[in-house]
Structure 1
Amino acid sequence: MKVTVDEDKCCGGGSCVLIAPDVFDQRDDDGIVVLLDAAPPEEQHEAVRESAGVCPAAAIALSESP
């Protein structure tokens, strides 16, 4: 799995950080998403998919690798 984020779309909701804190964080000054791991281990994939699904701004994109 490869994860990308679009900081311009991010509204700073923070759901991604609550669901997958090992993969996402937020900037202190404005709450915009910070990607900590663009290729998370398999045990994080379900949480990352959930984070992408609940993102109110659709700022998280996933590409699944075979």
Structure 2
Amino acid sequence: MHVSIDHDVCIGAGQCALTAPRVFTQDDEGYGTVLPGRRDGGGDPLVREAARACPVGAVAVRGVPGGDAG
């Protein structure tokens, strides 16, 4: 799995950090960011929910555990 945030789209709503705080945080300017070492989702089952919670669709989750596309 690969997790990313499109910083050109992010509006800083914070839903990613609220939903999956072990994977996401907000930077000094208030925009969502993936925590260091968590681009693989960190095994957090809430990563996909955090992507769905983003009001502007800035969070992308690609692939699934085991290497299957998703």
Q: What TM-score bracket applies, with the shorter chain setting the length?
A: 0.7 to 0.9
- Could you tell me the TM-score, scaled by structure 2's length? 0.80
Q: Which runs of 4+ in 1 moved over 4 A?
A: none
Unpaired runs of at least 5, structure 2: none
Q: Which residue of 2 aligns with 1:55?
A: 54
Number of aligned residue pairs: 63
AA matched with 1:48 = V
Measured after TM superposition, the shift of residue 27 of structure 1 is 1.1
Question: What's the counterpart of residue 34 of structure 2?
Answer: 35
Read off the aligned partner of 2:23 and give its amino acid letter.
V
**TM-score computed with the length of structure 1 as normaliser:** 0.85
Q: Supply the distance in 1 between the matched residues of 2:33 and 2:62 (Cα, whole angstroms).
A: 18
Amino-acid identity (%): 40
2:7 corresponds to 1:7: yes
Question: Could you list the per-position Cα deviations for residues 6-63 of structure 1 after superposition, in whole angstroms to 9, with x for gaps in the alignment?
Answer: 01100100011011111111012x2111111101233x0x300000001011001111
Unaligned runs of 5+ in 1: none
Q: CA RMSD in A?
A: 1.2
